[in-house]
Every structure is written in C-alpha cells, then in structure tokens.
C-alpha cells in the first residue's frame, strides 16, 4: 500500500510552507539595520561637518568662545541621540535574533522525528497549527485573540504579533480617512528606497488622496492649497501615472456635488477609495516583508481538505454519509472523519476529492443482506460487544442481526 512511504517524513518538502516563517524576522532585521545605518550616517555626517565648520571659524576667529561651546553642546547632544537610537535598534535586533533562533530550532526539531506517526511529531504539528492560526487571526485583524492564543501556547517568539499590530494600526487609520500614518510608514528610514525598487504606487496613491481631500471642500483657499500640493507631490509622477495626474487636474473643475454626472470623478470622490488604499497598503507591506499574500492556513487547508476528502464525505446517500456512527469508516473504533465533522464539512465542498489509484477497504469483506459490506474482524468484534450467539453478526449501522449463512464473501480486486 506504500503506507510506510506516506508516513515517512520528507523534511525538505515538509517545510515548504515555512520559508516566510524564517524570512520575516530576517527581513525585519534588514529593515532594522537599514534604519540604524540611515540614522548613523545622517547624524555622523552632520557631526563631521559641524565640527569642521566650528574648527575653521574658530581658527579664523570668526566665532566667539560662546558660539564654539554652543556648537559643541549641540554635537554632544546629537551624539547622545545617536547612542539612544542605536541602543533601541540594538534591542530590536536582539529581539529579532531571538525570534529567528527560536524558529530555526523549532524547524530543526523535525529532524529528530522519522515519521508522522511519531508522538513528538504530533506536538510539533500542533505548534505549527497554532502558528498558522495566530497568523490567520492577525491577518484578519483579530489581534486580541491572536495575542491570547500565542501567550497561552507559549509561542510568542514563533509569531509576529508586533509586526501585524503595527500594520493593522496603519490600516485602521487609512480606513478612518487619514493618510498620515501610512505616509509616515512609506517614508520612514529607507522604506522609500525599497518601495521605489519594487515599483510601488502606494506613496503616489496616498498623495493623490491628500489632493482629493483638499479639493473636496471646494473653497478657494483649499483649492489653492490643492494646486500647490499637486505641483509638489503629483507633478513628479506625470511620467509614470500620466492618466491619474491629468484626472487630478480635471477634478478641479468638478465639485463633489456635481461629480455624479461623471463616473470617473465620482469614483475619485468615493469613500470606497479608502478601502482600496488600505488594501494597497496591506499588499505593499506584505510584499516588502516577503509575506505571502494569503494566510498560510488557507494554503494548508485547501490542500489538506482535498487530500482527506472522499466521495462519501458529501454523499447524498443517507447510509454512506456521516451519521453519528460513521458508515464507511475503516477504523474499527468508528471515529468521525474530519471532513464529515461539522467544523469542515461545508468548507470542504469547495475543493475536489482526493485521487486514489488503489482501493482502501477492510480485509475479508462480507456482504450482509442489508447491502452493506464489513470486514470480518469488525463484524466479529461488534458481535462480541453485543453479546450475540456464536456465528451471528450484527449490521454496524442498521443493527439488524443475521445468521452466518446469510453472509456472502466479497472479492475486491
């Protein structure tokens, strides 16, 4: 049956889902480093130049003693600022190292197991499910549940509550109609550079929305401000976003109360744009941090539901569908199939059932007059449990009792 083959762990393939799991702390480490370097370079250059200027003017006798001391004081406080910032970058780095190490060692544990039937594997796989759940909860914005689940299971280092909370804060502010936090995120440290590298239109879209909001009140003062804003922030994009920039100019001629006549302008004034912006932000954020665009739980579930699903799981046949006692279960101790169980039954309707090249049925099948076939071992065990007379059998589903001569052997080829 190749069963041994199926339960053996293929480590590399088993970790297909896990790349983002190790990627995220590392991408954050990189981001953290770039942030630190940006600060150090900026302040370092400033110190170097200030020191040089101070020295030159002191030597030339152009600056007073007082000026020199003042400038030294500002250099000292600037340098203390560098220290403060660098310390907090270093703390973040330590936290991310801890996360990465915890994750590598969690994945490494898998190598200590040989098959999915290993008891240690179950604990490992449960931790993986909890990770996937926390990821899903965070992506859906259920931050409190995510935090609680991570805490109760002691997997804080294996999940990314902080990152997603920060993301949902920015997202939330966009949905409330404010671009400030999203713009700050876009322009912080070297995010701007990274966004340009990936051809992101997020910043443009945010600036565009700012512009729309300036036009919306349609007062002369605001319109002037809007034009200034456009010159400064939209004009530079005229090559890449020509159509939008042109539309922006057109918008000046269309006050919101008359926009219903022009679908294109009506759309620009629509509050729906905030949702679009929030989605652009989420996509951009996830791409930047190498996060997959859909929750990993979705991926695990769609492939898992399909692999487990059989034609019997949604059978209209009252007999072969899952009743409390399961009709076509292979196992002697009839447990409910996970796909037939309430939790997943409806969800599994949306995926194909598994493909099998071989039959998987019980050994020594016997057909009862009810039209149902069971393995001899199951029938014997059930007869014994029910206290039947020697040779008699009882249908596991219908409860009918039959004499030995009523049974027929079934041959499965």
Partner 1 sequence: MAMLQLDEDLKKLTQSAQLSNALGHVDNIIDLLTNAREKIATANDPHTTSLTLTKLQNPTREGLEGVNEHLRNVHRAQTKYNKALTAAFEPKDKNLKGPLPTNHDPMADHPQLINRAIAMHLLREGQFGVASTFISEAEPGPEPGASQYQRQTRLPPSTLRSPTSPRSPTPTDATMDAEIPVELQSEALQTAFSDMYSILSSLKAHDLFPAIDWAHENAAELEARGSNLEFELCKLQFIWLFKGPQVNGLPDSSANGRSGALDYAQRNFSRFRHRHLREIQQLSCAMVYASNLGASPYRVIFDTTLAFDEVAASFTREFCSLLGLSAESPLYIAATAGTIALPQLMRFLNKVKGKNTEWTTEQELAFETPLPKSMIYHSIFVCPVSKEQTTDANPPMMLPCGHVLARESLQRMTKNGRFKCPYCPNEGSAKDSKEIIL
Which is closer to partner 1, CB of 226 or CB of 365?
A: 365
- What part of residues 386-405 is at the interface with partner 1 (CB under 8 A)? 386-387, 396, 399
- Interface with partner 1, residue 113, by CB under 8 A: no
Residue 401, beta-bridge partner list: 394
Among 212, 344, 393, 407, which residue sits at the site for partner 1 (rule: CB under 8 A)?
A: 344
- Interface with partner 1, residue 385, by CB under 8 A: yes
Return the DSSP state at 399. -
Question: Which one, of 102, 87, 88, lies nearest residue 24 by Cα?
Answer: 102
Among 123, 129, 188, 198, which residue sits at the site for partner 1 (rule: CB under 8 A)?
A: 129
Residue 115, beta-bridge partner list: 8
> Which H or E element spans position 147?
helix 143-152
Residue 394, beta-bridge partner list: 401
> Which H or E element spans position 393?
strand 393-394
- What part of residues 214-253 is at the interface with partner 1 (CB under 8 A)? none
Least spacing, CB of residue 220 vs partner 1, in Å = 32
Cα atoms in the Cβ-side hemisphere of radius 13 Å centred on 353:
12
- Interface with partner 1, residue 188, by CB under 8 A: no
Rounded to an integer, what distance in angstroms lies between the CA atom of residue 25 and that of residue 23? 6
Provide CB contacts within 8 A for 229, sequence distance 6+. Answer: 207, 210, 211, 214
Least spacing, CB of residue 325 vs partner 1, in Å = 5
Question: Residue 309: phi, psi to the nearest 5?
Answer: -70, 140
- Interface with partner 1, residue 322, by CB under 8 A: yes
What would the x/- binding string for partner 1 be over residues 18 to 57, using CB under 8 A?
xxx-xx--x--xx--x--xx--xx--x--xx--xx-xx--
- Interface with partner 1, residue 306, by CB under 8 A: yes
Provide CB contacts within 8 A for 284, sequence distance 6+. Answer: 195, 198, 200, 202
- What part of residues 60-79 is at the interface with partner 1 (CB under 8 A)? 61, 65, 68-69, 72-73, 75-76, 79
Among 24, 28, 113, 133, which residue sits at the site for partner 1 (rule: CB under 8 A)?
A: 133
- Interface with partner 1, residue 155, by CB under 8 A: no
Among 234, 305, 393, 407, which residue sits at the site for partner 1 (rule: CB under 8 A)?
A: 305
Least spacing, CB of residue 26 vs partner 1, in Å = 6
């Amino acid at each position: 049956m190749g069963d041994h083959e199926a339960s053996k762990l293929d480590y590399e393939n088993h970790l297909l889902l896990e790349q983002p799991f190790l990627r995220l702390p590392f991408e954050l480490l990189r981001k953290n480093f770039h942030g630190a370097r940006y600060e150090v370079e900026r302040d370092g250059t400033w110190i170097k130049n200030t020191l040089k200027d101070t020295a030159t003017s002191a030597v030339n006798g152009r600056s007073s003693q007082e000026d020199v001391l003042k400038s030294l004081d500002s250099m000292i406080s600037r340098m203390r600022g560098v220290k403060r910032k660098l310390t907090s970058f270093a703390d973040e780095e330590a936290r991310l190292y801890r996360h990465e190490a915890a994750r590598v060692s969690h994945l490494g544990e898998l190598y200590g197991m040989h098959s999915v039937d290993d008891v240690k594997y179950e604990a490992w796989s449960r931790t993986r499910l909890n990770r996937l759940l926390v990821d899903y909860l965070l992506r859906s914005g259920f931050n409190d549940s995510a935090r609680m689940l991570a805490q109760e299971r002691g997997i804080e280092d294996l999940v990314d509550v902080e990152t997603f909370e920060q993301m949902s804060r920015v997202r939330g502010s966009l949905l409330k109609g404010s671009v400030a936090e999203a713009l700050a995120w876009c322009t912080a440290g070297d995010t701007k550079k990274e966004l340009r590298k990936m051809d992101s239109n997020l910043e443009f879209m945010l600036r565009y929305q700012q512009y729309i909001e300036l036009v919306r009140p349609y007062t002369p003062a605001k319109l002037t401000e809007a034009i200034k804003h456009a010159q400064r922030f939209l004009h530079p994009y005229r090559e890449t976003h020509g159509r939008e920039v042109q539309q922006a100019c057109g918008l000046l001629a269309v006050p919101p109360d008359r926009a219903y006549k022009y679908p294109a302008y009506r759309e620009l004034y629509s509050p729906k744009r905030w949702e679009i912006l929030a989605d652009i932000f989420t996509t951009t954020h996830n791409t930047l941090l190498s996060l997959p665009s859909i929750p990993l739980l979705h991926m695990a579930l769609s492939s898992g539901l399909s692999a487990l699903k059989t034609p019997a799981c949604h059978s209209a046949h009252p007999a072969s569908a899952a009743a409390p006692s399961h009709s076509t279960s292979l196992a002697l101790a009839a447990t409910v199939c996970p796909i037939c169980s309430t939790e997943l039954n409806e969800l599994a309707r949306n995926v194909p059932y598994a493909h099998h090249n071989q039959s998987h049925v019980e050994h020594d099948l016997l057909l009862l007059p009810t039209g149902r076939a069971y393995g001899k071992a199951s029938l014997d065990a059930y007869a014994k449990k029910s206290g039947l007379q020697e040779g008699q059998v009882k249908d596991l589903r219908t409860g009918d009792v039959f004499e030995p001569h009523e049974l027929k052997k079934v041959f499965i080829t």
